[in-house]
Amino acid sequence: MLGKAVSYELIWDSALAGVVDESQRWILSAMQHHGQELVTMLWRILGNDQDVCDAYQSTFLQLAHYKGTQKPKHVKAYLFRVAGNTAVSMLRHKIAERNRLPAVAGAGKDATSPVRELDSKYLQENLRYYITQLPEHLRNVVTLRDLAELSYAQVARILGISAGTARVYRCKAIQLLAVWMNR
């Protein structure tokens, strides 16, 4: 996943290299325990090394500055929610930037070509765009279940809903995505 340019171990080693205040050691522990899952989820959402590194760094910076460096009650839930929101914001920013450029925007609207429809990069980009357009409760379930590959029980625990509700939300999200992708 992130092995092309940066490995997870290098991120961890560089974090250990700095002098860390004793009161902040729990952040390094969170990086060690949840970092690989977080990188996996971010890679599936963003699709490139640089964006994954930026979102990962932003997530842990927000954790380090959480309510004056206090530890959140549910660290894993906080990490995945912040990382998902950061990744979606990055995708939305890229889409807005692309739409500002007339040449790129014109090329992106040509979806009638069969070659273009079969292009997996194009399909992935469209799917990522449509995921960002889902209502937040549906987007959170899809992000955690399908992109982070967490179980329904884990998704339910992170979002504070039942596993059955998570299944229903995912089903609704998949139906919406299917309609939008078939337009």
Pair of tokens at residue 15: 């974090």
Averaged pLDDT for residues 140-148 = 90
- Determine the pLDDT at residue 44: 87
Q: Which residue has the tokens 């929610």?
A: 81
Q: How many Cβ atoms from other residues are within 10 Å of residue 9's Cβ?
A: 10
pLDDT in tens, 120-135: 778 888 888 999 999 9
Best CA proximity match to 146, nearest among 165, 111, 173: 173
Q: Report how far residue 46's alpha carbon sits from residue 52's, in angstroms, rounded to the nearest whole number.
A: 6
Q: How far is CA 83 from CA 35, 51, 166, in A?
A: 11, 11, 19
80 contacts 158 by C-beta, under 8 angstroms: yes
Q: Burial-class residue 49 by CB neighbours within 10 Å (0-12, 13-18, 19+).
A: middle
What are the structural domains, with CATH classification, of the chain? 1-109 (no CATH), 115-183 (1.10.10.10)
Q: In one letter, which amino acid is 166?
A: A
| Verdict on whether the full-model pTM lies above 0.75 | no
Averaged pLDDT for residues 24-46 = 84
pLDDT in tens, 63-116: 877 777 677 788 888 889 989 999 998 988 888 877 776 554 455 555 555 565
